[in-house]
Structure 1
Amino acid sequence: MVVGARRAGLSISQSAQLLGFSRTTISKVYKEWCEKGKTSSMRQSCGRKCLVDARGQRRMGRLIQADRRATLTEITTRYNRGMQQSICEATTRTTLRRMGYNSRRPHRVPLISTTNRKKRLQFARAHQNWTVEDWKNVAWSDESRFLLRHSHGRVRIWRKQNENMDPSCLVTTVQAAGVMVWGMFSWHTLGPLVPIGHRLNATAYLSIVSDHVHPFMT
């Protein structure tokens, strides 16, 4: 590219601006090509030597996998432990970006147990062929807590572009003190909104179903 730019009539400054190299590099590469007819040796000597090789990248990748929420300072400190040549935070950031990692805010998802996650998947697979007419005969209900105050804590994690829904890249939401209500809806209409002033256990849930769902469905 350097030789092509110079032979096309571009000056050293113009070539440097176009290709993103320094004027010194442009001058040396073109001079070597004119004298030796090749530029391979110069290409190897251009630029700063990478401080984190392939082995170092694998080490840094393991650190990320072990703690997605680690700060840049923490990653750098942990990486430098036991290493002969230490690196700075700027090098850590550059290496992570080269590996495809960026600092992102994690997706927030409800706290669901492994058992309930499997049950939901089984339900989805069992009803994947249902038609709209089938779903019109279903009533949906759920309870929700409206928080009196929210946490403003911000969490950031390191992840690649395709890891946004990886379990290690998610933050679960846990509901705090607030007002709990129960409600339901169907294809045709909305059901009642029922305040819940106590813990919703199996007995309380059956009581709500008996008092509100049956009249709603009839």
Structure 2
Amino acid sequence: KPLSVNTIHRAIRRCQLKLYSAKKKPFLSKIHKLRRCHWARDHVKWSVAKWKTVLWSDESRFEVLFGNVGRHVIRTKEDKDNPSCYQRSVQKPASLMVWGCMSACGMGSLHVWKGTINAEKYIQVLEQHMLPSRRHLFQGRPCIFQQDNARPHSASITTSWLRGRRIRIRY
């Protein structure tokens, strides 16, 4: 027997469920989680003075979207952090990228560009924004450049560029 939409809605409400928008979360594989655990174990005994020698950097992509896009899930209020209720985004809509850096000494440079980044563009960002920020924040003192393991960061031309400038890096 076919069910009406109202019958399904009543059944969902009886189960104390509600329709919510899915939370967007990046997908983390078992390897990503394992690498994060290893990184934390490797750095757990660092002193405050050691952490003050780190120049942190990262980039973020901001998507340009219009309208009410997104997946809806039926869940309880308590299930909002359940990974099965997340929306994973795979496609790349129009976007802006923002790169920035900071340390315990202060904020570094911020750079914005359209589209995505590759190793060549990343090296340009490092030359034009990271190096001046590093000079300004650390004033000649040695520092560690902390970045994630994104492809442009770990590309051979990027690592050789960093090695050529004697920049100590951490992933």
- TM-score bucket of the superposed structures, by smaller chain: 0.5 to 0.7
Structure 1 counterpart of 2:72: 156
1:5 matched to which residue of 2?
Answer: none
Q: 1:123 corresponds to which residue? A: 39
Distance in 2 (CA, whole Å) between partners of 1:176 and 1:125 is: 36
The answer to whether the 8 Å contact 2:97/2:113 transfers is yes
Distance 1:87 1:156 in 2: 21
Residues 104 and 159, structure 1, Cα contact 8 Å, conserved in 2: yes
Secondary structure of 1:208's counterpart equals helix
Letter aligned with residue 21 of structure 2: R
- 2:94 alignment partner in structure 1: 177
In the comparison of the two structures, how many residue pairs are matched? Answer: 133
In the alignment, structure 1 segments of 5+ residues that lack a partner are 1-79, 81-85
Structure 2 residue matching 1:93: 3-state secondary structure: helix
Q: Distance in 2 between matches of 1:100 and 1:198?
A: 43
2: distance between equivalents of 1:124 and 1:175?
31
Task: Indicate conservation of the 8 Å contact 2:58/2:100, yes or no.
Answer: yes
- Look up the equivalent residue of 2:58 and give its one-letter code: D
Distance 1:125 1:100, change over 3 A: farther
Shift of 1:206: 3.7
Letter in 2 for 1:189: G
Q: Aligned partner of 1:176: which letter? A: P
When residues 107 and 201 of structure 1 are mapped into structure 2, their CA distance, relative to the original with a 3 A threshold, is same
SS at match of 1:158: strand
Counterpart for residue 104 of structure 2: 187
1:162-209: CA deviations, max 9, x gaps? Answer: 322222211134552233232111222111122446642234324433
Tell me the TM-score normalized by structure 1: 0.46
Q: Deviations over 1:93-141 (max 9, x none)?
A: 34333434321122122x3452445433443454456565543332221
Residue 50 of structure 1 is matched in structure 2 by none
| Aligned residue type for 1:106 | A
Task: Give distance in 2, aligned partners of 1:191 and 1:139.
Answer: 9
- Percent identical: 27
User: Which has the larger Rg?
Assistant: 1
Written as runs of structure 1 = structure 2, the 5 A alignment for 1:53-202 is: 87-109=3-25, 111-114=26-29, 115-128=31-44, 132-173=48-89, 175-196=92-113, 199-202=116-119
CA distance in 2, matches of 1:119, 1:91: 47
